[in-house]
């Protein structure tokens, strides 16, 4: 589970552990990764952590070697990524290249390193975390949105490649999620925009003005984790090449 020492990735790791999976938590900060693992193990789960910078082949090698030390991995959840909310003309060509490396090639690096051993099991799961912005892009962070669209695309191509192997490949595409950084940002914006000082009012106004959806609130990391858990389990054996949106109806398309 890449990028699982905090936020959305941490929620996915915790739920998979609660469902009985032995989880490999990944991050770049050892203290945070170790804290997540301790919390999972203290509550009856099974987890270890590995470290590695997936923007480089060397970092991916280190992570894969540690992850495969006890045998093949049967579920890969690619979640690690990064973005900056920059407008179009402030995103340089170098920024585009770096975004593609961090948000697409990092996924490819882990697929390349874990898939050969997974194939020996005759069963497995490849789950990419995408984004509703990869389906309906907006003006900010065009490099990141294009990268998430590439994640969606590679998932389907990979599903075709895995025909007959017992391994499925799917994408979960969250809409705007309420993680700590998002909540702090909205609280800071509330005074400037007249949204009030109660969280219920702030969230309602933020949804109405920025991230309209049919549910009327931001998503919770646990809701994305539930979608990943479904796709990772035996009840999803007949689901591959699919994109599962968890966005409250934010995406306006069939």
Q: Mean pLDDT in runs of 10 for the chain (254 residues)?
A: 95 98 97 98 98 96 96 97 91 97 98 98 98 93 96 98 98 93 86 91 92 93 98 98 97 88
Burial pattern 42-70, b for ≥16 Cβ within 10 A else e, equals eeebebbbbbbebbeeebbebbbebbbee
Would strands 22-27 and 124-129 be described as parallel, antiparallel, or unpaired?
Answer: unpaired
From CA 159, how far away is CA 52, in angstroms rounded?
A: 26
**Is the Cβ–Cβ distance between 79 and 126 less than 8 Å?**
no
Measured torsion, CA atoms of residues 218, 7, 80, 167, in degrees rounded to the nearest 10: -80
Rounded to whole angstroms, the maximal C-alpha distance in the chain is 58
Residues 6+ apart with CB under 8 A from 190: 196, 197, 202, 205
From CA 224, how far away is CA 210, in angstroms rounded?
A: 20
pLDDT in tens, 99-120: 999 999 999 999 999 999 999 9
Q: Which of 82, 85, 93, 92 is nearest to 55 (CA)?
A: 82
**Is the Cβ–Cβ distance between 96 and 143 less than 8 Å?**
yes
Please report how the helices 180-193 and 199-209 are oriented relative to each other, as an axis angle in degrees rounded to 10.
90
pLDDT in tens, 23-41: 999 999 999 999 999 999 9
From CA 163, how far away is CA 158, in angstroms rounded?
A: 9
Active site residue 49: no
Q: Return the pLDDT at 203.
A: 93
Q: Return the pLDDT at 149.
A: 98
For every residue of 28-76, DSSP letters joined together read: S-HHHHHHHHHHHHHTT-EEEEEE--TTSHHHHHHHHHHHTTTS--SEE
List the catalytic residue out of 100, 107, 144, 230.
Answer: 144
Sign of the CA dihedral 36, 41, 47, 49? positive
* 3-class state of residue 125 by DSSP: strand
Q: Return the pLDDT at 71.
A: 97
Q: Return the pLDDT at 155.
A: 98
From CA 154, how far away is CA 236, in angstroms rounded?
A: 19
Residues in the chain: 254
- What are the structure tokens assigned to 210, written together? 């920025």
């Amino acid at each position: 589970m890449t990028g699982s020492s905090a936020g959305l990735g941490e929620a996915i790791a915790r739920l998979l552990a609660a469902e009985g999976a032995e989880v490999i938590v990944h991050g770049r900060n050892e203290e945070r990764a170790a804290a997540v693992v301790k919390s999972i193990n203290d509550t009856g789960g099974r987890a270890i952590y590995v470290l590695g910078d997936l923007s480089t082949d060397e970092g991916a090698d280190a992570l894969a070697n540690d992850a495969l030390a006890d045998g093949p991995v049967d579920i890969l959840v690619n979640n690690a990524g990064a973005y900056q909310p920059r407008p179009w003309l402030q995103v340089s060509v170098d920024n585009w290249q770096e975004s593609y490396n961090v948000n697409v090639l990092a996924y490819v690096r882990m697929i390349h390193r874990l898939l050969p051993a997974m194939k020996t099991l005759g069963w497995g799961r490849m789950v990419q975390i995408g984004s509703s912005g990869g389906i309906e892009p907006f003006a900010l962070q065009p490099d990141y949105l294009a990268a998430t669209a590439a994640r969606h695309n590679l998932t389907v191509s990979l599903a075709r490649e895995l025909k007959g192997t017992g391994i499925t490949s799917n994408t979960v595409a969250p809409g705007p999620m309420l993680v700590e950084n998002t909540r702090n940002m909205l609280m800071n914006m509330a005074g400037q925009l007249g949204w009030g000082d109660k969280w219920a009012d702030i969230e309602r106004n933020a949804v109405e003005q920025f991230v309209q959806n049919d549910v009327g609130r931001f998503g919770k990391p646990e809701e994305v984790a539930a979608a990943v858990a479904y796709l990772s389990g035996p009840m999803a054996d007949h689901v591959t090449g699919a994109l599962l949106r968890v966005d409250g109806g934010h995406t306006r398309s069939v």
